[in-house]
Structure 1
C-alpha cells in the first residue's frame, strides 16, 4: 500500500489505574496468571503522527522522558512498524509524544503511547484497520496496550491481555501521588515471589488461576465509591512497599486525611487514592502537596485512544 496524504493526526490515550490486582502462583514458564480490574483515567498521553520516510519519535511535555529509548525498543515505534508491516505500508512516520503519564509508574503510559500510535498511523496512512483490526496488533505489543485502545473499565485475565469490558456507572474520583523514581515491573514480581517463598508457611499455597472478586465488580457496576474502597486490593503492593518503603508514609498520609482508600497502582510506585467527591480530591491533593509529594486529581472511567 502506498501513502495517503494528509496529517498531522493527533490521538490521545489514557493512563490507567489497577483498581484490583491478583497474581497467581509462579508458573514453570516464569509467568503468572493475573486478574485485574483496570480503569482508564483522565491523565492522557497525546501522540501526533506526521508523514516521514523513516520512523522516529520525540518526547515533549511535563514528564522527563530523557531516559526513554528512541529506537525499536520503544513501544510506540514498535507499534508503528508492526502496523506498516501488517498492512504493507511502505512509508514511515515521525511521532511526537506529549508525555503526561509518569514513566515506570504502574499507569501504562508506554502502552497508551503504543495504542495512540496505532490509531494515529491507521488514520494518517489510510490503512483502514479501525479499532477492531488494531486490537490484535495491540495484544501483540503488550498486555496493557489493548486496554489503552479500548479504555473505560475492564477485567484483564491470563497475562492481563484477555480483556472483557466491565459494566461501570458514574464517575470515580482519584488523587494520584507520583513518585520521582520508577519501579521495574519484573523486579516487583520477583520481589513478590521471594516474599511468598519466605512466608510460604503463613501464606499457604498460591492458586494457579486467579479472578477479580465479585465485590469489586459490583462496586463499579453501581458506582459506589465506599464499596469500591473496601474491595480494592493489589497483590504487588507488598513488594512495591518493600522496594520503596517511602510509599508507606504516602499511603498513611492520604488515608488519614480524607481518602476512602489508597492503593499502589499496578507495579507502582504511583499511589492511587479513591475519594468521594472532587472537593475531597482537591483537599487530599493539597495535603500531599504541602508535604512535598507531587499529586494530581483525575477521574474515571474515560474512553480509550481517540483522534482529537
Structure 2
C-alpha cells in the first residue's frame, strides 16, 4: 500500500468517442468478434470526482438522462476503483461522483469514459502511481473501449478494440450529434448483426477473419480532410442498429440533405454523428436539426483522453 496524497479530492475529465470506421469480423468461438476501428475522441465529456472515503460509493448526475445508470457494482466506474484498489493493495475506499454529458447507451463510450476517469482519479487520489502501461492493462480488463478513453486523440483499435495504435490526425473535425432518449444495448446490436449476416449470407461478402482499417481513412485523418473522411465513414453495426431503430434512417437522411458531409450511426447507436465541413457549417446543421425537433449537440475532435482537471 502507498500513502495517499493530501488533496481531499481529484477531478478527472474523459471524452466520449466516435468510431469513424468500424469493421466487424466473423464471430469467434467464444461469441465475441474481432474488429478494426478508427476511434476519435470528441468534446462531449464525463467528469468523475473522487473523494477519500472508508468504503466505496457512487453518485451519478449530469445533463443527460441518468435514470438507467446503475450505482452499484454493475457501474464501470465503481468496478474500476475496486480493481485499482485490489491490484495495488490500497486498503481505503473512495466516493465517486460521476457527472455525465455523453448520451447513456448511445454508442459513444460514456460508461467506458467513466471507468477511465475513475482509474486516473483514484490513482492520483490514493498516490498509487501505477504508471500508464499498467493503467492501460487495467482498463482493458474493464472493457474494450476503456483503454481508448484513457488515451483519447485518434487511434486504431484492433482485437476487441482494446489493442491500440496511435494515429496521427491534423486539424479539427466538427461533428453534430443527434442523441436519443432511448438507448440501444450493445450485445443486442451485435446479435442483430449476426442474424442479419446469416439471413443475407448469399447476398453479402462474408466477414473477414482479421478485419482492418482502410488505409485511406488514415490518410484522410492525417491530412485533416473532412470531405475525404466523409466518403470513407463505415460502421458495420449500422445496418443492425437501423433494423432495431428504423427511425434512425430518417435522421440520417435529414442530416445528409441539410448540409452534412456524411452521417453515420456512432458505434452500436443510437447516436447519429454528422461530419460537417467547418465549425460554422456544424452550427448551421445543428440549427436545422433542432428546428425539426431533434436533440442535436455540437462536438469536435480529436481531444485528449482522461486527465486531471481543476
TM-score (normalizing by structure 2):
0.98
C-alpha distance in 2 between matches for 1:245 and 1:158: 30
Is the 1:151–1:305 contact (alpha carbons within 8 Å) kept by the matching residues of 2? yes
1:118-197 correspondence runs (5 A):
118-197=119-198
C-alpha distance in 2 between matches for 1:212 and 1:257: 29
C-alpha distance in 2 between matches for 1:2 and 1:16: 33
What's the counterpart of residue 60 of structure 1? 61
C-alpha distance in 2 between matches for 1:114 and 1:27: 26
TM-score (normalizing by structure 1):
0.98
Shift of 1:68: 1.4
Is the 2:40–2:153 contact (alpha carbons within 8 Å) kept by the matching residues of 1? yes
What's the counterpart of residue 292 of structure 1? 293
1:124-183 deviation per Cα after TM superposition (whole angstroms, max 9, x unaligned): 001011323311101111100000000000000011111100111110000000011000
Is the 1:2–1:90 contact (alpha carbons within 8 Å) kept by the matching residues of 2? no
SS at structure 2 position matched to 1:296:
strand
C-alpha distance in 1 between matches for 2:131 and 2:287: 42
Unaligned runs of at least 5 residues, structure 2:
none
Shift of 1:31: 1.0
Unaligned runs of at least 5 residues, structure 1:
none
Is the 2:48–2:99 contact (alpha carbons within 8 Å) kept by the matching residues of 1? yes
SS at structure 2 position matched to 1:57:
strand
C-alpha distance in 2 between matches for 1:204 and 1:170: 35
SS at structure 1 position matched to 2:280:
helix
1:178-233 deviation per Cα after TM superposition (whole angstroms, max 9, x unaligned): 01100000110111111111111111322111000011111001100011000110
Instruction: Establish whether residue 99 from structure 1 lines up as the match of residue 93 from structure 2.
Output: no
C-alpha distance in 2 between matches for 1:235 and 1:179: 20
C-alpha distance in 2 between matches for 1:250 and 1:307: 36
Moved over 3 A (4+): none
Shift of 1:2: 5.5
What's the counterpart of residue 243 of structure 1? 244
Shift of 1:66: 2.0
Shift of 1:306: 0.6
C-alpha distance in 1 between matches for 2:88 and 2:192: 41
1:245-284 correspondence runs (5 A):
245-284=246-285
C-alpha distance in 1 between matches for 2:238 and 2:115: 26
What's the counterpart of residue 6 of structure 1? 7
SS at structure 2 position matched to 1:181:
coil
Instruction: Establish whether residue 301 from structure 1 lines up as the match of residue 306 from structure 2.
Output: no
What's the counterpart of residue 223 of structure 2? 222
Query: Alignment RMSD, CA only?
Result: 0.9
What's the counterpart of residue 41 of structure 1? 42
Count matched residues: 308
1:233-254 deviation per Cα after TM superposition (whole angstroms, max 9, x unaligned): 0000000000000101110000
SS at structure 1 position matched to 2:7:
coil
SS at structure 1 position matched to 2:202:
helix
**More displaced 10-residue stretch of structure 1: 130-139 or 208-217:** 130-139
SS at structure 2 position matched to 1:203:
coil
**More displaced 10-residue stretch of structure 1: 154-163 or 126-135:** 126-135
Instruction: Establish whether residue 78 from structure 1 lines up as the match of residue 88 from structure 2.
Output: no
